[in-house]
Amino acid sequence: MKRPACILAAALALLVAGCGLSPMYAGGGSGTVARGLASIDVAAIEGQAGWLVRNELVDKMGAGRSDGAPRYRLDVRLDDKLEAFAVLSDDTVGRERRTLRARYQLVDLSTGAVVLDASDGSDAGIDVVGADYATIAAEQTALENLARDVAARIVMRVSLHLRGTGK
């Protein structure tokens, strides 16, 4: 590397170090965010989509792995829609859209106060083919992928909240 490039790289490194950015999961499993996520009890969620989302949330957050009683409860309500569109000239459906929306609240169990009230969602397009089994399999796969995506969005939002409060 040439000398001016080295100086520029060092200057950029100093600027980034001084900007106040810090890793979300600093401290690993014993960090503030990881401990906060582990202290969340994820309430049961209705339906197959709810079962999938809850399992993803528990896996991603490490919920229930804290030593003591949970500090927070995460309540999630889902809206799972499968709608047909792209009607072909022979009045058959050529494409479907599956949408999974989540409205969730993080409740502080010591006070009963809602400390985070938010919503997130995701959608997927599904090609409808002549074989019914293939279409059903595609719909199921779409639901599993949407559940994974929505759970990741919820964990990120909750993590940002926990990081901001330092709890």
- pLDDT digit string (tens) for the chain, length 167 residues: 567 676 777 766 666 655 555 555 555 555 677 888 888 999 999 999 999 999 999 999 886 566 678 899 999 999 999 998 877 777 777 788 999 999 999 999 999 999 999 999 999 998 888 888 988 999 999 999 999 999 999 999 999 998 876 55
44-48, long-range: CB < 8 A, 24+ apart: 45/76, 45/77, 45/78, 46/77, 46/78, 47/78, 47/80, 48/143
Separation of alpha carbons 50 and 64, rounded Å: 18
Identify whether 86 is part of a domain: yes
The pLDDT value recorded for residue 128 is: 86
Residue 63 is part of which domain span?
Answer: 27-165
Here the tokens at position 93 are 């459906």
The pLDDT value recorded for residue 7 is: 76
Identify whether 112 is part of a domain: yes
The pLDDT value recorded for residue 17 is: 58
Identify whether 20 is part of a domain: no
Q: What is the CA radius of gyration of the chain?
A: 22
Contacts of 118 (CB under 8 A, 6+ apart): 103, 104, 157
Distance spanning both ends of the chain, measured CA to CA = 44
Q: Which helix (H) or strand (E) holds 32?
A: helix 32-38
Q: What is the pTM of this model?
A: 0.78
The pLDDT value recorded for residue 44 is: 94
Identify whether 22 is part of a domain: no
Task: Classify residue 94 as left (phi > 0), alpha (psi -120 to 50) or beta.
Answer: alpha
Separation of alpha carbons 70 and 60, rounded Å: 16
Contacts of 9 (CB under 8 A, 6+ apart): 1
- The domain that holds 125 is classified in CATH as 3.30.160.150
Give the count of domains, the chain: 1
Identify whether 66 is part of a domain: yes
The pLDDT value recorded for residue 13 is: 67
Identify whether 5 is part of a domain: no
The pLDDT value recorded for residue 108 is: 93
